[in-house]
Amino acid sequence: MRCPRVFRLVLGLLCCHAACVVAGCSRYVEDKWSRARPRTYATRGVVQHEGRPVDGAVVTFLARAEAGGELSAVGLTDSSGRFELKTYRPGDGAIAGSHRVSIEKRSLGGAEPDSGTPFATQQEYEAARAAEARPKPVSRIPPRYGSFESSGLTAEVTAKGPNDFVFKLDDSGPPAKAAR
């Protein structure tokens, strides 16, 4: 008689534990701190460079918050160049107001030495590769877009929306502006 009773007690405790884990991990919980944050609005867009979508670029919107500081929202472009911004949690967007924008896509360069001419021997190749052993970050789009000061990119996020932006980047000319 004791075994079924102990079994039921253990089973009940396991069910309570599972319910607590599911309730604690399954959704976002609003608290006094999250209610005090500035409100965000869904913000998304597309990044193109020379007419082609840019994948793997980090898009950052930076705005002045009401409290006097700066608040940023960040997104990562997918293979079609699309991004969705996050300020506090995925997909929540950016705060309303005027934003400076930076777009950066970097990768580690230096995988293969490039002298412009073929190497005469294997030793020359290995020496050149050893000299470039430490990969350096290389910008895959014009570097000016990676800085808020030099990008010239801006966006106006509104409470009414829609907050969909298209950033068309090019290699020359005046800084690009966001189109709606």
Residue with tokens 């919980």: 29
Check residue 135 and give its pLDDT.
62
- Local structure of 133: helix, strand or coil: coil
Characterize the bridge pairing of strands 164-169 and 44-49.
Answer: parallel
What DSSP string describes 16-64?
A: HHHHHHHHHHSS----HHHHHSPPEE--EEEEEETTEE--S-EEEEEEE
Q: Is the peptide bond before 135 cis (omega within 30 degrees of 0)?
A: no
Which amino acid belongs to residue 103?
I
Measure the CA–CA gap between 81 and 166, rounded to whole angstroms.
10
Check residue 59 and give its pLDDT.
95
Q: Quote the pTM value.
A: 0.66
162: nearest Cα among 67, 52, 42: 42
Which pair of tokens denotes residue 60? Answer: 């950052």
Q: What CA dihedral angle connects 58, 64, 67 and 72, to 10 degrees?
A: 0
Check residue 72 and give its pLDDT.
93
Q: Which domains are assigned to the chain?
A: 39-105+140-169 (2.60.40.1120)
Per DSSP, what are the bridge partners of residue 153?
Answer: 101
In tens digits, the chain (180 residues) has pLDDT values of 455 766 666 566 666 666 656 555 545 567 777 777 889 999 999 999 988 999 999 999 999 866 667 899 999 999 999 999 999 989 899 999 999 999 998 876 554 445 556 677 777 777 776 766 566 666 778 889 989 999 999 999 999 989 999 999 988 644 545 555
Check residue 106 and give its pLDDT.
80
